[in-house]
């Protein structure tokens, strides 16, 4: 590739980066259609469907992993407990342990599959803190590159978002360790 990527670090201050990083997921679930009211919780619903339909990547005993429908970066994952709890301090020790373990595996898988250079991890607790779905706890795993070039750039240039997400999900799910 002969493109020269500009270093975003020279242009974006930390507050701007934070804003860009933690707000895009709001769009996925809050502005889901003309009807603003959404009765169902997307993170309670997703595990009820086949993995590919709701972008589920891996399932554990108390928590699971799915791709963010509106990712900040391609490969942006969310680790959620199955239980509908709002905040981290409501999680059981088993849930805390498994959310942590799934986060570690997710990092390794993303590093292997996408060759990312770093990560942002975090949980927004409450709508005031930027949580798009504030009623159901979710930990973000956002892969970062030095250039912040797209994950799978060739696919990204030629496919629409739903196709891209599907292919990213397949690649990540295929790389997920089966004993994980
Ligand atoms: Zn829920």
| Nearest by Cα to 91 from 83, 79, 102 | 83
**Per the domain annotation, does 5 fall within a domain?**
no
Looking at residue 53, the DSSP 8-state letter turns out to be G
**Per the domain annotation, does 15 fall within a domain?**
no
Q: In what order do the strands lie in the sheet with 56-59?
A: 56-59, 63-67, 77-81, 139-144, 118-122
Q: What is the mean pLDDT of residues 16-21?
A: 42
pLDDT at position 165 is 83
Most confident of 19-23, 26-30, 81-85, 133-137: 81-85
**Per the domain annotation, does 33 fall within a domain?**
no
What is the dihedral angle through the alpha carbons of 144, 68, 49, 98, rounded to the nearest 10 degrees?
A: 60
Instruction: Say if CB 67 and CB 172 are below 8 A apart.
Output: yes
**Per the domain annotation, does 22 fall within a domain?**
no
% residues pLDDT > 90 (the chain): 47
Give 95-107 pLDDT, tens digit per residue. 999 999 999 999 9
Single out the catalytic residue among 25, 76, 138, 140.
138
7 Cα: distance to centroid of ligand 1 (angstroms): 38
Domain of 52, in residue numbers: 40-175
pLDDT at 50 over 80: yes
Q: Which residue has the higher pLDDT, 30 or 114?
A: 114
| Phi, psi dihedral angles at 2 (to 5 degrees) | -100, 0
**Per the domain annotation, does 157 fall within a domain?**
yes
pLDDT category of residue 86 using cuts at 50, 70 and 90: very high
83 Cα: distance to centroid of ligand 1 (angstroms): 7
% residues pLDDT > 70 (the chain): 69
Give 119-177 pLDDT, tens digit per residue. 999 998 888 887 778 899 999 998 888 765 544 444 444 445 666 788 889 999 999 99
Rounded CA separation 121/101 (Å): 13
Mean pLDDT estimate for the chain? 77
Whichever domain contains 95, its CATH number is 3.30.428.10
pLDDT at position 38 is 58
Q: Is 74 helix (H, G, I), strand (E, B) or coil?
A: coil
**Per the domain annotation, does 4 fall within a domain?**
no
Q: Rounded to two decimals, what is the model's pTM?
A: 0.73
**Per the domain annotation, does 3 fall within a domain?**
no
**Per the domain annotation, does 9 fall within a domain?**
no
Q: Which residue has the higher pLDDT, 9 or 133?
A: 133
20 Cα: distance to centroid of ligand 1 (angstroms): 25
Q: Which residue has the higher pLDDT, 108 or 71?
A: 108
143 Cα: distance to centroid of ligand 1 (angstroms): 24
Q: How many domains does the chain have?
A: 1
Rounded CA separation 75/169 (Å): 8
Clarify whether 138 is annotated catalytic: yes
85 Cα: distance to centroid of ligand 1 (angstroms): 7
Looking at residue 60, the DSSP 8-state letter turns out to be -
116 Cα: distance to centroid of ligand 1 (angstroms): 30
Pairing of strands 118-122, 77-81: unpaired
């Amino acid at each position: 590739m002969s493109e020269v990527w500009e270093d975003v670090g020279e242009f974006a201050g930390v507050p701007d980066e934070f804003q860009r990083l933690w707000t895009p997921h709001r769009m996925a679930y809050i502005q889901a259609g003309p009807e603003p009211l959404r009765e169902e919780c997307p993170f309670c619903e997703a595990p009820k469907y086949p993995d590919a339909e709701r972008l589920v990547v891996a399932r554990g005993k108390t928590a699971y992993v799915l791709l963010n429908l509106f990712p900040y970066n391609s490969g942006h994952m969310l680790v959620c407990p199955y239980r509908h709890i709002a905040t981290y301090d409501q999680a059981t020790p088993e849930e805390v342990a498994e959310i942590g373990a799934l986060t570690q595996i997710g990092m390794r898988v993303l590093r292997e599959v996408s060759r990312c250079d770093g990560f942002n991890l975090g949980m927004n607790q409450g709508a005031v803190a930027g949580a798009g779905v504030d009623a159901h706890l979710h930990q973000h795993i956002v892969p970062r590159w030095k250039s912040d070039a797209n994950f799978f750039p060739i696919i990204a240039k030629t496919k629409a978002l739903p196709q891209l997400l599907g292919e990213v999900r397949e690649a990540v799910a295929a790389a997920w360790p089966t004993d994980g």
